[in-house]
Amino acid sequence: MSNSIGVKNAVKRFGDVTVIPDLSIEIKNGEFFTLLGPSGCGKTTLLRMIAGFNSIEGGEFSFDEKVINEIPAHKRNIGMVFQNYAIFPHLTVRQNVEYGLKIRKMEKKAMEKRVDDILDVVKIKEYQDRLPEHLSGGQQQRVALARAIVIHPNVLLMDEPLSNLDAKLRIEMRSAIRDVQKQVGITTVYVTHDQEEALAISDRIAVMKGGIIQQVDAPEKIYTRPYNVFVSTFIGHSNLFHGIVVKEEDGIGVQFMDGTKTCLNTLTDVTPGTKVTVGIRPEEFGLSETGILARVKNKTFLGRYIVYELDLPEDMILPGQSSIEFSQDLGQAEKLYEVGETFFLRPNPSKINVFTEDGEKSLIKDVRWDG
Ligand SMILES: Nc1ncnc2c1ncn2[C@@H]1O[C@H](COP(=O)(O)OP(=O)(O)OP(=O)(O)O)[C@@H](O)[C@H]1O
């Protein structure tokens, strides 16, 4: 029932402006695939091309290898969910869900069964006779989801479906969407600019910038092994250091500008002496007797952990950062620190990310554009 989606060398222009220069992706059947990126990077544009709402200036779109470029939107058998729920206010929940099947002239008994099943899956059966105005935002979004999947679409496309909901409901609804998607097993393309949501919900994520895909990978891989500095800073926080590749007795490593060295067996074959950019997550430092000397500039208590802003010698870190972030898990911390205190940091060698000096490409083994 569900389809794979292929996009080959897609081009999108609005007038003279090229929004997507040349984009290719393969989305597997049954996969939950997220397009993530800053505002204006072309996520919605790409989704609308898949749906058939946008013209295609170049390239090939396919469902299960069958080219769909010339198939109009209403014949692509797509389920869509938007941020504004797009449900009919004058119809009850059940009538809303039935609507797409009635249009398709489905036989009454089969339709009743189909609707009953979907109302169960999406957990809205108890509200089936209510009008949308008597539902909460989350419940309305469940109705929109039920409406989209009841027609057994080839693919489900969702554009920022949770952005109108408050923070708590967003978290509840993202696991509801994920559960329903897995239960129904439908290929889903999901657009968001919320990185936490993308990490929580997706099988794979495509990170986009300026209409160009920066990395396609599973959430864990995107977070731990970003392909470039943009991905490492767009998703989570990354402290960026100047570094130089050095050869030590026990292998190749990276030296920071204060002379601290860290041996890495994860590096690709890089010539010693090469200048690099080093990315380290706030939680990937340990405290040590020696290492990078840091002074607490500020601290923020966040319940489960504490985030320290640390002062370091200026020439160690990339311009644009006035300090670095270090987070200490409260459950593990032996000692907490006050503003003004100093200590030595040791980055965890297996978690350090090393990029070309310009930040364009990872120098860690097995980090690819497409995982
Ligand atoms: N119909 C249009 N005419 C002209 N330019 C457009 C049109 N639709 C989108 N654009 C432009 O294309 C670029 C990509 O827009 P798009 O809506 O795809 O971005 P997005 O990544 O979905 O951003 P957001 O998260 O803000 O929705 C933007 O610069 C936008 O101004």
pLDDT tens per residue across span 96-113: 999 999 998 999 999 999
Query: Is the pLDDT confidence value at 45 over 70?
Result: yes
Going by C-alpha positions, the residue among 344, 364, 43 that lies closest to residue 221 is 364
Query: Is the pLDDT confidence value at 81 over 70?
Result: yes
Calculate ∠ Cα 205-206-207, nearest 5°. Answer: 110
Q: Name the token pair of 91.
A: 């119809």
Compare 178 and 331 and report the one with higher pLDDT.
178
Identify the band that residue 371 occupies on the pLDDT scale cut at 50, 70 and 90: very low
Task: Say what the pLDDT of residue 90 is.
Answer: 95
CA distance 197 to 305: 20
How far, in Å, from the CA of 28 to the mean position of ligand 1?
26
Task: Say what the pLDDT of residue 144 is.
Answer: 93
CB 177 within 8 A of CB 8: no
Give, using CA atoms, the residue closest to atom 3 of ligand 1.
Answer: 14
CB-count burial class (<10 Å; 0-12, 13-18, 19+) for 46 = buried
pLDDT averaged over every residue in the chain: 93
Task: Say what the pLDDT of residue 360 is.
Answer: 95
pLDDT in tens, 164-210: 888 888 898 899 999 999 999 999 999 999 999 999 999 999 999 99
Query: In the 3-class helix/strand/coil scheme, how is 303-368 assigned residue by residue?
Result: CCEEEEEEECCHHHECCCCCCEEEEEECCCCCCCCCCCCEEEEEECCCCCEEEECCCCCECECCCC
How far, in Å, from the CA of 44 to the mean position of ligand 1?
7
Q: Name the token pair of 367.
A: 């980090």
Domains and CATH numbers, the chain: 5-224 (3.40.50.300), 236-356 (no CATH)
CA distance 347 to 129: 58
- Whether 40 is in the pocket of ligand 1, judged by its Cβ within 6 Å, is yes
Task: Say what the pLDDT of residue 85 is.
Answer: 65
pLDDT in tens, 310-326: 999 889 999 888 889 99
Give, using CA atoms, the residue closest to atom 31 of ligand 1.
Answer: 40
CA distance 182 to 180: 5
pLDDT in tens, 216-229: 999 999 999 999 99
Task: Say what the pLDDT of residue 369 is.
Answer: 67
Q: Name the token pair of 64.
A: 């299960």
Q: How many CA atoms lie within 13 A of 105 on its CB side?
A: 0
pLDDT above 70: percentage of residues in the chain: 99
- Whether 192 is in the pocket of ligand 1, judged by its Cβ within 6 Å, is no
Going by C-alpha positions, the residue among 115, 118, 80, 120 that lies closest to residue 99 is 115
Element (H, E) at 25: strand 17-27
Query: Is the pLDDT confidence value at 56 over 80?
Result: yes
CA distance 297 to 150: 55
- Whether 38 is in the pocket of ligand 1, judged by its Cβ within 6 Å, is no
Element (H, E) at 10: strand 5-14
Give, using CA atoms, the residue closest to atom 1 of ligand 1.
Answer: 14
Query: Is the pLDDT confidence value at 258 over 80?
Result: yes
Identify the band that residue 370 occupies on the pLDDT scale cut at 50, 70 and 90: low
Task: Say what the pLDDT of residue 269 is.
Answer: 87
Calculate ∠ Cα 10-11-15, nearest 5°. Answer: 155
Give, using CA atoms, the residue closest to atom 17 of ligand 1.
Answer: 44
Provide mean pLDDT across the span 340-369.
Answer: 93
CB 252 within 8 A of CB 267: yes
Provide mean pLDDT across the span 218-246.
Answer: 96
Q: For residue 48, how far is the Cα from the chain centroid?
A: 19
* ipTM of model: 0.96
- Which of 13, 44, 213 has the most ligand 1 atoms within 8 A of CB, as the residue to mutate? 44
- Whether 266 is in the pocket of ligand 1, judged by its Cβ within 6 Å, is no
